[in-house]
Structures are given as C-alpha cells and as structure tokens.
Amino acid sequence: VLDLNVLPALPANYPLPPSATSTYYTTPNASGQGAAEQYPQPDPNPTKKKTDSPSPSLHAPFDSESEFELSTKIQSTMFSSFRRTLLPVLRSVQSSVRSMFIQTQETPNPNSLKFLPNCMVLNEGQTRDFPNLDAAKASPLAKNLLRIDGVKSVFFGPDFITVTKKEDETAEWQILKPEIFATIMDFFASGLPVIKEGEEGDSITKKAGDYSGVEFKEEDRETVALIQELLDTRIRPVVQEDGGDVVFKGYEEGIVKLKLQGACTSCPSSIVTLKNGVQNMLQFYVPEVMGVIQVKDEVDDIAEREFEKFEALLKTKQPQKKGE
C-alpha cells in the first residue's frame, strides 16, 4: 500500500502541463493580510473542453533533469512503502512457524520423554519405532533426532514423539530438550514428510485379518484373532499414552509373545506391566492364554549388543596426560 503522506513534494519550479494550469485565488491568513495558502479556483465553464495542448504521454521522454529526479524519488518511495508493508507480513509468517507449540510429558521410564507437537506425526492408529540409525533411514526426522548426542532411540505415535536418552550422567534432559525442540520445529517448518514415500509399509498398523509377522499355528487362528483385537482396542491405547507400544509377535502353546517399543523398551516397570497388566487382561478374556513374555528381534539384539560394546569401550578409554 502506497503511503501518500511520505511522497516527496513537487519542486517549486516544476513545470505543469497546460491542461493542468488554473488560476488561483488568495485567502486571508490569521492576521487578515496576504495569501497564506493558495487553492485552485473552480473552472467557470466546466463543460467546456480545453484543447490548448494534449496531456503529456506517460511514456514520453523527460524534458528536464528535474523530471527524471522526481520520477526516481517516486519510484524509491513506492519501493520503500512496499517493503515496509511486506516485511511485517513475512516476519509474522516466519514467527508463526518458529513458535510451534510443543508440550512434553513424562513417562514411567525416567530415560524417555514424550514430545507432543501441535500437529499429526503419523496417521491415526500408526506407530513407528527407530531403535538405531540404521532403522531411521526411512525417516529424516528420526535420523536428525538420533544424531543428537545423548539420544538412544526414537518412537513415533500418531500425535507424539518419544525420545529415549542414553543411561549416562552427561545426558541430562535440561541439556537435550532445547536441541530436540529445535530439531522438531525445523523439520516441520521444512514441509518434508515424516516417513519417506514408499516406506509407509513398515508401520506396525495392519488391516483386520492381517497377521504377517505373527508366528502361530493354523488351529490357533481364532485365538490369535481375539488376542490381536484385545491388543488393538484395550492394551495398545493405554501403552501409547505412556509413550510406547506393544507388537504381537507370536502365539505358541498358550504363550503370547510381545515386543515392547518406545518408552516401554528399557522401562524398569516393563515386566510388571506385562505380567500384571497385559497378561491379566488377556487371561480374563482368553482362557487359552497361559502367560505373556517379552521378545526382541534378532536385529535389535545385535544392534543392542554392539552398542553396549561401544559404550564399554568408551568408558575404558581414559584421557592421557601430557608427557606420558
């Protein structure tokens, strides 16, 4: 919007075109003498067309150097006014992106913290676990979070992100939280997808009747279907509230095999949760269930062992003193 109040005044000697000239009359000033201001006198014959000379063309060359200077000043003023109008809008848009509101929620695991951005992370009902960098190839956000020094694993829920830190005295939440906040805000401001295209199939969300990845005998299909329904409707929503999830891995001889994810992975009370919570509920609704055990994928076991070896190696190495 062009502010007319900031336009430069016309020079006193600026030549007006003949069609714009008119006679002036004076008005008395406060003292009653002289003409303090000049106003154009109305044309006595408004219906009479003036044909003394045509109006100057907008594309006509400048007749004098003063006209060129005036045009330059007008262009400069218009640009300045446009810049003053546009920059606040751009700053407000940038501020709204940078001021993304993220809440944190504690979990039963002291090493895991739940981050809740004011947007959806995955589709409703979906979860995704990233125990290490190799598993994070499908998600740029998970990869950026795992690159933060002190972060051990990342877990995505429909509307939350669970970050698990290393069990180290140097990895304190008051140090990690600002960097985690910045990483999450920068990623969502970029507009990139949380999961790369073509990698969505690795989510544990499955259609009804799809038991891929679940080991069981064909004669136990009805029991497995009932267990899966109880897990999806009664157990998983409660576990997700604590920043984790459970995956049905198999059923054999009355034993339900579950894999824990997110905050439940290294939680001190995970065994109590399995026995007193999950097992009791399954046994109440499914009499065939004899017990519940926790299992891990072979790849996860290998990665965890290698990580423990690396951590032990770092602890054994002491910094050498100068002169030794």
- Domains in the chain: boundaries: 4-44+63-96, 102-201, 206-305
* The predicted structure's pLDDT at residue 213: 80
* The predicted structure's pLDDT at residue 35: 47
* The predicted structure's pLDDT at residue 57: 47
Q: The tokens of 126 are what?
A: 């979906």
* The predicted structure's pLDDT at residue 317: 64
pLDDT < 70: residue spans in the chain = 1-71, 73, 75, 78-99, 169, 199-211, 298-315, 317-324
* The predicted structure's pLDDT at residue 298: 65
Cβ pair 84, 245 in contact under 8 A: no
Which of 296, 258, 252 minimizes the C-alpha distance to 277? 258
In words, the CATH class of domain 102-201 is: alpha beta
* The predicted structure's pLDDT at residue 36: 45
* The predicted structure's pLDDT at residue 157: 94
Q: What is the DSSP letter of 179?
A: H
* The predicted structure's pLDDT at residue 124: 87
Select 206-305's CATH number: 3.30.70.270, 3.20.20.80, 2.40.30.10, 3.30.300.130.
3.30.300.130
Which of 282, 285, 225 minimizes the C-alpha distance to 256? 282
Sign of CA dihedral 209, 214, 215, 220: negative
* The predicted structure's pLDDT at residue 235: 92
| Strand order across the 102-106 sheet | 102-106, 112-117, 161-165, 151-156, 128-130
Cα gap 106→11, rounded to integer Å: 70
* The predicted structure's pLDDT at residue 288: 95
pTM equals 0.62
